[in-house]
Each structure stands twice: as C-alpha cells, then as structure tokens.
Structure 1
Amino acid sequence: DVIIKMKYPGYFLIGADFIKYAKSQGIPVGPGRGSGAGSLVAYSLTITDLDPLRFNLLFERFLNPDRVSMPDFDIDFCQDRRDEVIDYVQHKYGKDHVAQIITFGKLQARAVCRDVGRVLQMPYGQVDRLCKLIPMNPANPVSLAQAIDGEPRLKEERDKDATVRTMLEIGLKLEGLYRHASTHAAGIVIGDRPLEELVPLYRDPRSSLPATQFNMKYVEKAGLVKFDFLGLKTLTIIDKAQRLIRQHIPDFDANKIPLDDKATFHMLGQGDTVGVFQLESAGMRDAVRQMRADRFEDLIALVALYRPGPMANIPLYCARKLGREPIEYMHPALEPILKETFGVITYQEQVQQIAKDLAGYTLAQADLLRRAMGKKIKKEMDDQRENFLKGAIERGIDSAIAVNIFDACAKFAEYGFNKSHSAPYAYISYQTAYLKANHPVEFLAASMSLDMGNTDKLQVFRQEAQRIGVRIMPPSVNTSEVDFAVKENAVLYSLSALKNVGAGAIEHLVEKRNAQGPFVSLGDFARRINAHVLNRRALESLVKAGAFDDLQPNRARVFDGVDAILAMANRTTAEAEVGQDDLFGQVSGRKEDVPLPVREAWLPMERLSNEFEAVGFYLSGHPLDDYMVRLQRLGVDTWTSFHDKALTKGATAAKLAGTITHRQERRSKSGNKFAFVGFSDPTGQFETICFSDTLAASRDLLEPGKAVLIRVEADVDGEEVRLRLQGVEELERAAAQITAGLTIFVRDASPIDSIAQRLANGGKAPVKLILQMDKGREVEVVLGNKFTVTPQIKGAIKAISGVIDVQDL
C-alpha cells in the first residue's frame, strides 16, 4: 500500500527487471545494501537477497509516507560486467532515456594550495610539503583557514616566505569553488521520455553515456529517480573463486553456504582476515579477534560499530558478549530490542524500535525522530523530546529513566549506522571468510587475479599462502594461465602478472598451448608463438621469473639466448604469413632447437634479484632466507611483526634487516639531502625516510641489492606506519658475529670438489656432509669444525649441481 500510495511501483519493477537480467546472464549481483534491504517486497522481487524478517530490518527506514524522499536501491554488480547491465538498460528503455549524473569537484584546502602553488611556479616539493601540513579527513574536511589556525608550521612558513603568504591568501579566496565536472561513480537516471525534454545534458568525453547537467540533488527535484549501479571487486572475487571450486564441486553455490560454519568463525577468531572483505585492516583484525565472533549477527554488529563514534562501544560489546561484564538495560522493555547486541545500541533501527515500543511512535514517526536526532536541529529535538517523554510516561516508564533513554538514543543517532546497510555487507564479508576458510586455494587464486597489477598486494597474498600452507607454483609457460589458476591443490602463478608481459601476449601463448599441447623445447616454443605478439621485454621477463625452467633450468643461458629465440620466432612467423610453413615446414627441420650460449647458472642472489625485477617481489625464495637463524639470534624483528606491534601495541623502534630495493634522493628547502629507501625482507616490503646525517654516514651501504641491518623509529598515522632510518650496518658483517655451522646433503660424490672450493678453513663453524643412499640409508661425514661459514657461502654451496639441500647446524 505504501509503495503504491507513494507511486513507486515502477521504481521497484525497473530495479527487479535489470537485476533479473543480470542474474540470468550470470553477472554476479550483491545481496542489496542500504535501506532498501529492509523491504520485503524488494526481497520477494529478488532485488535484495537477505530476508528482512529474519534480520529485523525495517521497511520504514527505506520508504516513509511521513518523510517524502526518493527511494534508493544501492545495487552492487561484478565490476568486470557492470557495463553489460547499463547497456541492457540503455537498450531496453532507449539511449536517450538513460544518463549518468554530473558531479562537481570542489577546490578543498589541499587541492586549492596545489593548484595555486603550481600557477605561482613554486617548487613541487615545497608545495607538497606544505599541503601535507593540512589535515586530510574526507569525512569531515578541514577548511584552509582552520588548517592555518591549527598548524603553527603553516603560520611560520606564511610569515617568513612572501610566496607562501600569497599562495595561502589566493587559496582562501578560491577555496570552495568548483574545479571540474565529472560524473557520479554509480548513479544512473532513467526517464519516461527523452531526457533532453526534462533536464539539460552534458557529454563527458571519457564516457559513452551522457550526463545530466543537474547534480544529484537537483535531478531529484526535476522529477527523475536514480539507481546506483555500483561495481564491487569483491563480487568478482567470489564469482571467480566459485568457478574454480566448481571444477571439482560442480554444484557449489556461494549464495547457499551455511551461516554457522565453525571453520569460518574459528578463522575469524584468530584474526586471519587477509583478503576478507571489510575485515583486512589492522584495527578490524584486532576487533574481530577481541569479539571472537561465533554467529553472523556478530559480523553485522562489527561492520556497524567499526567507524568513528560507535567504535568506542566495541570493547563494551565484546566484554558483554564474552561474559566479562553484565548485560544491563535501562528498562526491561529494552531487552527484546537490544538483546541481540548485548544491551549496546548499535543500529538506527533499534532507535526506531525503542521509540515505537516505549513511547508509542509509529515506525514512520520513529524514522522522523531518528533523522531529527541525527541532524541535531534544536527545535525539532525539543519537540521530539517532549513527544517521547509524554509517550513513555503514558506507558508507565519513570520520567527520569525516559530522559536517560532519550538521551542515549540521541547520542547514538549522531553517528549510528543503518542495519539494512550493515547486514548485506556483513554477508559479503562472511562469504569471503567462508571461501578462505573452506576453499583457500581457490579463494587466493581469485583474489590474486583481481589484484594482478598491484605487486604489494600480490606479495601480501603470497605471504598469506605460505602462512596457511597453500603452495604457490612459480610461473611456467606450460602450466600457468592468463589469470591465477588452480591445479593439484596449488595456486598457479599468472604469467600476465609479470612485469612487461601483457595479457594479450599470454592469451596468445595459452591459446597455442591448449591447441597443440605443452611446449617440449625452447625451439618448439619459438616456432609456435607469433613474434609480433611476444616482444623482447616480455620474453626477458618470462626468463627472469623462471617461466622457462621446465624447458631449460639454466636461466642465464636462456636469458642470453633471447635473441636466438626471437630470431627463430620471427623466421617462423614470417614463413607462416606467406604460407611456407605448410609447404616447406618439414624440409626446413621442425625439430630444430634454439642454439643457446654456454653460461654458468646465476648464483642464488643474482637469480633472486632478476626474479624480483620480473615479479615485483621475491617469489621462489628471499636473499635473507639464509640469514634467518642468525637474525633471530641477533634479536632482529621482521617487518610484518613490527608493523603489527606498532599498530596494536604502540611499538616505536626496532632492529630490522632487508635487501635494499630502491633509493631516491631529494633535497629539502634548506638544501640538505634526504632519501626514501625501500627494503624487502621475507615478510614484505617497506620504505623508510633517511635524513641527511644518516644518509651521509651510510650512503655507501644504501645501494640497491645490498643486504643490511637497520635501526628504525616509527610513527603511526591511522593504518600507516612511517619509518625513519636511524642507523645502517652491513648484514654480512653483523651475521658473521654469530657462529652457525652447516649440514650439506648430497646423493653422490660428484659435487665434493666444488664444495671444498667454497669452504675456507680458519673459522669456528662445524660442517657435516650427509650422503643419501638407496633404501633411505644415510652416511654422515664430519668435515671439521674450523670452517668460515657465512650466508653467502651457504648460498653458493646450495647452487652447486648435485647438492640436494644445505641446512644450518
């Protein structure tokens, strides 16, 4: 009745139509979020997927006859296929009936200073430094005047530098003006007639869709209704993981998983949330660990509470949930409403329910109360307070208790969250957690495919895979795919994720392999690929990453033979283009292999360094792997461990080790040099700022590729840990202070001479040789206990052909 009375049946039916189309085409659609999730009609029409009766979601939060406002469905689609749904809407309703909505970018404090500084031709570094003194808070932007008043360093720069003063004066005049036009990220309007008859239109050169010249506020006043078509990467991850799982569980459906899975909640209770939607940040990880979530409702509460304001209630929620504090209610009538959240007001819907049950409001009136509390308009609040107290007293509630309940609701409503939004997002969080807990290989492969261009994120997933025991197979031209794939319960590293290798080249390579079988030699590879598709840089990247190891394990020979591979590929491609392949292929010798130069295999450090260039991080090992025993004895922390300690325990200093990945020197306004220095250790990559004194003292040690021991101090800003470099020491020298012997494993005597050449007498380290024989027998030979052993010597022995393994003794 309300929907018909408010004349919105068409809105529901149009939404149901394009969602039904998306689902029929296999396009992943989110469960529906925002206040629309509280509508049982929307659930019945499959616009939303969560039952509002089960989760106590209120329709009046969505449509309220006493509050005339436009309905709003926020609909998430798989980001890769969102445009297909928009194309469908254009085709069905007419291209001239559909448009995006314009938005205007304003000159806020930082942006106006950057633009004015550029026009005044101030040095970029100076402008950047000044802009970083202006607080950045998108939720509550700080004005330039407020920033100047609150930051003494800005005032100081203004007072001593006339150009800075000019920049700030002009900035204060321009702040708030529109800077540029763009389009709303998700909003689409659909008209019942050509839109040019209703609103002026604008053509964004970056989009095929026109946009209204009215922004969202005025589009609604013009009588148009908007739909939000959002692209959500997580839906694509869930879909990819589901397709991988269906390769061995054909009827698996991520939308039909149980909501009480023990493995999922056990994993969440451990804080193992890498890759889990909305729960990845250090703060969220800590909160879900404290909460020990064991039911879906806990996740709904966590999503609602983890934001500025309500976050203060997380410890209280956890303490009451775990029985550390008693659950208390200001009045017995609150128990049925707040029992689910242990007496803690968590959702806006609870405020509405309190007003209905305790003060006799209708849910529609209670929605107006909620809005009044949120806006804090004094006259409205005074009127609502009077109505609430009157209704509560009429129902036998003591006036003092009624006042306390109203004040508690009012305080919460300032920042309270909508359960109809929290529940659908919690469901997506739960889906990703379920996939990770029960199908980790497929989940990691799907997650890595969606972050293929982000090597930092890929490294995080690779470390997570190591931690939970999931194998990541190195890239291979014979097994890897365009995306990350799954084979024999392991993740196959994607060839497209390598640097300088395009997806088009790999699609061609995989197509050839699928059509004619695996490559049997480098010559076979060169003859079958199209030389126009796979260029030198791509080929070199494949070699460095080890993608040809199946065909030739000596990467140095293959790398130096790239010209020969390309020459053969060019020749066979040219022959194929003129049809010679079919006529003379047999005569010209199809079994010919690529002639490779004779080269010594790359030493472990060189091999890993080249791998780093191609992959973006160390994949098959890390240069510090051979140092780990010594580093533990030296009390050196890992980057990931210290990062967590800094965020959760307030740690401010550490001793770390790393291989230097880059050094970028800059000059400050005062003329002093400083540098940004990047490091990598087996747990991740990190960057430090190195000021002039430390830089001058340690410049020779801070060369890319060197392994060093460093002392750092840390500052925490939100989720970011910023490091300052305080001291640097050569790692080899520090490690040499720790005596550690070696155990070398061999199968026969062939590598003995090479081992002897690399071991030097004169040290204090013992060395044992283990000869592994048939039927599991072993012969142990003690070579002595006065050898010089370093991690570099250990690595050199590992690289000897015939050595099975080398372990610290």
Structure 2
Amino acid sequence: LTELVPLYQDPRSTIPASQFNMKWVEPAGLVKFDFLGLKTLTVLDRARGYLERRGAARDWNSLPLDDARTYELMASGQTVGVFQLESQGMRDTLRKMRCGSIEEITALISLYRPGPMEMIDTYIDRKFGRAEVDYLHPSLKEVLTETYGVIIYQEQVMKIAQILAGYSLGEADLLRRAMGKKKKEEMDFQRLRFVKGAAEKAVPEAQSGSIFDLVAKFAGYGFNKSHAAAYALISFQTGWLKANQPVEFFAASMSLDLSNTDKLAVFYQDAKRFDVPVLAPDINRSSADFDVAWDDDKGAVLYALGAIRNVGLEAMKHVIEVRETGGRFADIFDFLERVDPRSVNKRALEGLAKAGAFDSIHPNRRQLLEQADVLMAYCQSVAAERASSQVSLFGGDQAHAARPRLKSVEPWVGPERLDHELSAVGFYLSGHPLDEMTSALKRKRVTFVAEAIPLAESGHEAFQMAGVVRRKQERASARTGEKFAFVTFSDPTGEFECLFPPEQLRKCREVLEPGASVMVRVRAKSSEGEVRFFGDDASQMDNLLDDANIGLRIHVSARSADAEALKARLERARSGAIGKGGEVSLMIAGLEQGREVEVKIPGRYRLDGALRGALKSAPGVVMLEDA
C-alpha cells in the first residue's frame, strides 16, 4: 500500500485507507474486493441457535435445493423478510415468475434492476411457452438455454464472444469491461474485432453486427452471475427457514429489527398470517431480545423486553440477569427490591407497565404508571440500603414494612389500555380497540381484512370496512400536483393499506387522522395474487354508534353486581345529543326462584369500544349482548 498509493489515517479507524477512490486504485496496481455485511446472515445464525435448543438445527449449505415448500412460498409472494425478495414489486414478480429452481431465483435477482427489468416479461413469457425462445445463433443455444435466450449475466457476454468471435478469456473480460463503461472509441474497436472474429467462423457481418449491438445493450446492465448466485442461495435459505420453521424465522428477523417498531409491526402482522403467535412481553418469561418458546409442539415468539420503547436492551439484560440469578419476580415490590435503579429508571418502569410486561405480577397497569414516582423512590431507597450494607433491624415478615401502600385506582380497560400499549410497543399486541365492537360492526355488514382478501380474490369488489388509522402518507401527483394519500388501517384481524385519490381525500381528509376509528367504503382490485384497496368514502365510527337501531344488553349477576360502578361507567358515555346513541338495558339473573329481569335504563349512550370495555370490567357483569 505504501509503495503504490497515497494513504490517510481515519481517526475513527485503526486501518489506513487509500486516498484514491475505487476507480483509481486498480490502475495503481491494487486489487479491489467488496466485503458486504449482510444482516441476513445474522438472522440465519440466530435462527440456528433457536433451532439447536430443540434439536432441529440444519446446515444451511446442505439444504435440499428442490424443497417444494420454499418455492410455494415464493410463488405466493409471501416473502416479507426473505433476502432480496421482500419489496412489493419483487413479490408481484415472484407471483408471475413462479420460480422453481435456484437458477431461476438467480435470474430474477439479476433481472430485477433498472435496465434489465424490461426483459422480465420476455423471460416469463418464454418460460411458460407464451413466446418463442430466440438463441440469436445456433452456436449460442448452450449459453442461453438456462435464461430462455435472454442475456442476463456478464459471464454469458464473455462466453458469446469466445464462441461466436474466437475471443480468448482475457479478451472477453476486456470486452465485458468496455461494454460496461460504454466508451465509444473502445466500443468501436471491439465491434470491429467481434465482427472480424465472427467472419472467421462463417457468421455473416450483418448477423454478427446485430448480435454485437444486442449484447452491448444488455452487457451494460449485465450482472455477475457468481455474485447473483451467492445472493440467490441466501434468498433460498431464508425462504426455506420461513416456509419450514416460521417460528424461528420470525423471532430471528424481529431480533435484527429490535429498535425499528414499524418493521416489527410488519413482522407481527405477517406472523399472524403464518399462524405464529407473538406473545406479549412478560417480565417473568420474556428475554431482553426476541426469543422462542415451545409448548406441546406449538411454538411462539416471545416479545423482547428490550424492544419496548424507552426501556433499552442493556437495561433489560440486567433484569434478565437478576431473574436468572434469584428466580422469578413474585410481585412488583420484589422486582423493585432486586433491580438496580441506575439500569431500570422511571421511564423504563413506565414503558414496561404500559406494554403489559408486569401483568403477570401486577395487572393494574394504570396504578403502576400513575405512582411510578413512589415506586422508583422505593427502588432507590432499597438500592441505597443495599449499597451501605445495612441490615434491617426487623426480621421475618416485618422486613418489608417499608413497602409503600399504592393508592387504589380503577384499571385501564378496553381502548384506553390498548392506547397506552400502542405508545409503548408501537402497535396493538395483546388486543385491538375494535375487539369489543366486533358484533356491532358485523351487524353493519363490515368486512374485516382477513375476510376481504379472499373475497376480493374471488371477484368481489365493494366492501364496507372499518379500522383504526395507523398512519397517513400524503403525496402529490407528478401529473396534476394534486394530493392523494396512502392510509394504513388496523382492524382486529390485521392491517390494510388504502389509496385515497385526490377527490376522495379532499372529502375525507379530516376523518383520516392517526388514532381515529373509522368506517371506510372501499373498492378492491385483485391482480397477480395481490389485493389493493381504493377508498371511496370514510366516516367516523361515532356515526355508526349513533344509529338508533343499535342497542346493548348488560347481563349481570344479582349477587355480585355493583350498581354504582355500572352507573359511573354509563354516565361517562351518556349522549348529549337528542336522538343520538343507543339504548341500554340490564339483564339481571340469579334472583329468587331463578327469575331473570330486564331493566331498561333511561337515556342514550355512546356504545363504543371504551364503554364496552369499561362495562365488561365492572363487578358482576357476565356478558354484553348487542340488542
């Protein structure tokens, strides 16, 4: 290095670097290598670790390359998280191409780039016999058979020059470089050389000239096959993992995106499609990172404590170390007495509480959040006492006499509980705000996305759907400058994206705010195995709840019902507008002689998810029933 190129010392590195860029280091006499750090290799490595724990580890390099499940997965386009194959456009192409071999995956990865992309449809049509395969010249059939006559790889360019024009390997490599750089004088020289060499092999000048021009056109885009094949193998390995061991696939994939809640939400929805449970974080079961649990041959992903917002991976590693050393946490005070407040601060405690990580030892999330200052003060005092090695004067049960008494507060219920969970996790994990509204929505002929997709694939086009707005992205049309929007909705069965054209967006913009519960009328279009939704109209869900035809029966037990608790909950949902809201009645069971009485409650009420969740948590409530 010191002999051939000027160097400089980057202060952030211990390795000297060339002052020449990659274009000039080779003429100076160096060889350039690219070393790519692929996180996919780490995904595969972590998945192997999970599989080893249950004796199911595989050697990735000895997987059967004819695995039917893997190719079925790719043909379905369900390749979120599969290396090189997860973009929407790539998934659409996979459905059309229906790859059946590692060679076809290699070709797809090479074709799916600017330039050669225009040949994808030609390749597919020739593969399925819809177009005739053209090998350019009979002598080139062997070189182009694998790619149905389409020039894809740099190696093919070199081989064509050798066979058709008598190039040596060294000359063929110079031709490849010349075609990639597109220098006119060099290309003119190579054209003369190619035509002359082809003439010596009895190929007419007109034919060899046109072949040279065609080769030159695609050589500029040509991909190095050995590079593409290495990528294709990793694509196959991650595809095999997802198709055959989806639990370990999702745990490993989520682990590599631990701090990216948007990507975690995508994996969570995809895991639901693959029937892989993702269990909510639990301080006594979860790890700092994503993990896998197997019970009775049923696997699940354990959500990472370190993936909760404002918590931190290192802090959670400390918590896991404490748990593994001293056993499971008995209650919230046991947790506070054992952890270091320098690792688990107030923000971390609040995040864990909102995410539901303490539910197994203290289910009242609201109590923990609202009294976090008191709890952290206790944690710090215990830590200070531990640090000073003072021993309590009190023995036995009196050792915890200093534990603070927490004020009694009503726990969060329904949407309020889930909204706090959303702020900590980034998406709905343990439930959905519309869960309590399912029967009312069904009565309004609302179709959830899990049902809408197969219906759309079978030809249905118009749907009434509902969801909570997760995000809205407005963009300007390149042609007209008018704004349109992509809006992502979440319903109890999954998420769906809906495109609102300019006219519809102007009409619905105020309704489509993140966090809003919305009824949306859509048109669905199914093409190449992909369903897309287009918004026609949207309205607030309150409009549904104000429908006079909706009513609610609250079934309660006469022995355990608390009239005051029910009254307080209903008062918060009383509708102030005349004629708005639904009617409510009590169905009281367990009276003398087994009688049941229905009592109609005066007034009208907003029968939304918040009220339903609050009512379900009231003492003595057995069930709710839409009337």
Q: Please tell me the TM-score bracket, short chain as reference.
A: 0.7 to 0.9
Write the distance in 2 (CA, Å) between the matches of 1:782 and 1:300.
71
Asked if the contact 2:355/2:424 (under 8 Å) is kept, the reply is yes
Q: Select which of 71, 75, 80 maps to 1:274.
A: 80
Amino acid at match of 1:461: F
Alignment of structure 1 residues 161-172 onto 2, 5 Å: none
Q: Could you say which residue in structure 2 is the equivalent of 1:575?
A: 385
- Secondary structure of the corresponding residue to residue 301 of structure 2: strand
Amino acid at match of 2:201: R
Q: Select which of 152, 170, 178 maps to 1:346.
A: 152
- Secondary structure of the corresponding residue to residue 312 of structure 1: helix
Asked if the contact 2:585/2:598 (under 8 Å) is kept, the reply is yes
Write the distance in 2 (CA, Å) between the matches of 1:508 and 1:263.
40
Alignment of structure 1 residues 538-617 onto 2, 5 Å: 538-581=348-391, 589-590=399-400, 595-617=405-427
Q: Could you say which residue in structure 2 is the equivalent of 1:463?
A: 269
Write the distance in 1 (CA, Å) between the matches of 2:586 and 2:203.
83
Alignment of structure 1 residues 732-747 onto 2, 5 Å: 732-734=542-544, 736-737=546-547
Amino acid at match of 2:351: S
Higher alpha-carbon deviation: 441-450 or 704-713: 704-713
Q: Could you say which residue in structure 2 is the equivalent of 1:417?
A: 223
Does 2:342 match 1:536?
Answer: no
Q: Could you say which residue in structure 1 is the equivalent of 2:300?
A: 490
1:495-516 Cα offsets, whole Å, 9 max, x none, are: 1111110122111100000011
Asked if the contact 2:472/2:487 (under 8 Å) is kept, the reply is yes
Asked if the contact 2:154/2:176 (under 8 Å) is kept, the reply is yes
Write the distance in 2 (CA, Å) between the matches of 1:770 and 1:265.
58
Asked if the contact 2:49/2:57 (under 8 Å) is kept, the reply is no
- Secondary structure of the corresponding residue to residue 307 of structure 2: coil
- Secondary structure of the corresponding residue to residue 235 of structure 1: helix
- Secondary structure of the corresponding residue to residue 305 of structure 2: coil
Asked if the contact 2:472/2:513 (under 8 Å) is kept, the reply is yes
Does 2:429 match 1:619?
Answer: yes
Asked if the contact 2:154/2:224 (under 8 Å) is kept, the reply is yes
Alignment of structure 1 residues 221-240 onto 2, 5 Å: 221-240=27-46
Amino acid at match of 1:529: V
Q: Could you say which residue in structure 2 is the equivalent of 1:64?
A: none
Higher alpha-carbon deviation: 342-351 or 198-207: 198-207
Write the distance in 1 (CA, Å) between the matches of 2:44 and 2:125.
33
- Secondary structure of the corresponding residue to residue 729 of structure 1: strand
Does 2:243 match 1:434?
Answer: no
Q: Once the 2 structures are TM-superposed, how far is the Cα of residue 400 of structure 1 from its aligned partner?
A: 4.3
Q: Select which of 292, 306, 331 maps to 1:521.
A: 331
From the superposition, tell whether residues 422 and 629 of structure 1 become closer, same or farther in structure 2 (CA, over 3 Å): farther
Q: Once the 2 structures are TM-superposed, how far is the Cα of residue 244 of structure 1 from its aligned partner?
A: 1.0
Does 2:252 match 1:450?
Answer: no
Asked if the contact 2:165/2:194 (under 8 Å) is kept, the reply is yes
Q: Once the 2 structures are TM-superposed, how far is the Cα of residue 680 of structure 1 from its aligned partner?
A: 5.1
Does 2:131 match 1:325?
Answer: yes
Write the distance in 1 (CA, Å) between the matches of 2:8 and 2:71.
49
From the superposition, tell whether residues 406 and 566 of structure 1 become closer, same or farther in structure 2 (CA, over 3 Å): same
TM normalised by structure 2 equals 0.79
From the superposition, tell whether residues 362 and 568 of structure 1 become closer, same or farther in structure 2 (CA, over 3 Å): same
Asked if the contact 1:679/1:685 (under 8 Å) is kept, the reply is yes
Q: Select which of 118, 122, 130 maps to 1:312.
A: 118
Q: Could you say which residue in structure 2 is the equivalent of 1:301?
A: 107
Write the distance in 1 (CA, Å) between the matches of 2:107 and 2:548.
51
Write the distance in 1 (CA, Å) between the matches of 2:360 and 2:154.
60
Write the distance in 1 (CA, Å) between the matches of 2:64 and 2:558.
55
Does 2:516 match 1:730?
Answer: no
- Secondary structure of the corresponding residue to residue 381 of structure 2: helix
Q: Once the 2 structures are TM-superposed, how far is the Cα of residue 326 of structure 1 from its aligned partner?
A: 3.7
Q: Once the 2 structures are TM-superposed, how far is the Cα of residue 555 of structure 1 from its aligned partner?
A: 1.4
Q: Once the 2 structures are TM-superposed, how far is the Cα of residue 410 of structure 1 from its aligned partner?
A: 1.9
Alignment of structure 1 residues 2-401 onto 2, 5 Å: 191=1, 195=2, 199-249=5-55, 251-401=57-207
TM normalised by structure 1 equals 0.62
Asked if the contact 1:272/1:285 (under 8 Å) is kept, the reply is yes
Write the distance in 1 (CA, Å) between the matches of 2:121 and 2:512.
44
Does 2:496 match 1:681?
Answer: no
Write the distance in 2 (CA, Å) between the matches of 1:588 and 1:752.
36
1:643-666 Cα offsets, whole Å, 9 max, x none, are: xx9xxxxx9x9997554668999x
Write the distance in 2 (CA, Å) between the matches of 1:744 and 1:663.
37
Write the distance in 2 (CA, Å) between the matches of 1:534 and 1:349.
57
1:668-689 Cα offsets, whole Å, 9 max, x none, are: xxxxxx9999875234598999
Asked if the contact 2:337/2:383 (under 8 Å) is kept, the reply is yes
Write the distance in 1 (CA, Å) between the matches of 2:465 and 2:64.
43
Alignment size in residue pairs: 583
- Secondary structure of the corresponding residue to residue 42 of structure 2: helix
Percent same amino acid among aligned pairs?
45
Question: Unmatched 5+ residue regions in structure 2?
Answer: 475-482, 524-532
Q: Could you say which residue in structure 2 is the equivalent of 1:71?
A: none
1:339-395 Cα offsets, whole Å, 9 max, x none, are: 111222221211222222233222322222222333333343333333333433443
- Secondary structure of the corresponding residue to residue 601 of structure 1: coil
1:24-74 Cα offsets, whole Å, 9 max, x none, are: xxxxxxxxxxxxxxxxxxxxxxxxxxxxxxxxxxxxxxxxxxxxxxxxxxx
1:12-35 Cα offsets, whole Å, 9 max, x none, are: xxxxxxxxxxxxxxxxxxxxxxxx
Alignment of structure 1 residues 651-666 onto 2, 5 Å: 658-659=467-468
From the superposition, tell whether residues 361 and 215 of structure 1 become closer, same or farther in structure 2 (CA, over 3 Å): closer
Q: Select which of 472, 487, 492 maps to 2:278.
A: 472
Q: Select which of 314, 317, 323 maps to 1:504.
A: 314
Asked if the contact 2:545/2:582 (under 8 Å) is kept, the reply is no
Asked if the contact 1:523/1:591 (under 8 Å) is kept, the reply is no
Amino acid at match of 1:497: A
Asked if the contact 1:522/1:594 (under 8 Å) is kept, the reply is no
Amino acid at match of 1:606: E
Write the distance in 1 (CA, Å) between the matches of 2:240 and 2:4.
47
Write the distance in 1 (CA, Å) between the matches of 2:558 and 2:100.
55
Asked if the contact 1:484/1:494 (under 8 Å) is kept, the reply is yes
Question: Unmatched 5+ residue regions in structure 1?
Answer: 1-190, 646-650, 666-673, 714-722, 772-778
From the superposition, tell whether residues 451 and 543 of structure 1 become closer, same or farther in structure 2 (CA, over 3 Å): same
From the superposition, tell whether residues 703 and 420 of structure 1 become closer, same or farther in structure 2 (CA, over 3 Å): closer
Write the distance in 2 (CA, Å) between the matches of 1:371 and 1:309.
17
- Secondary structure of the corresponding residue to residue 580 of structure 1: coil
- Secondary structure of the corresponding residue to residue 230 of structure 1: coil
- Secondary structure of the corresponding residue to residue 589 of structure 1: helix
Higher alpha-carbon deviation: 208-217 or 360-369: 208-217
Alignment of structure 1 residues 636-785 onto 2, 5 Å: 658-659=467-468, 681-682=490-491, 683-684=494-495, 705-709=515-519, 729-734=539-544, 736-737=546-547, 750=560
Higher alpha-carbon deviation: 254-263 or 221-230: 221-230
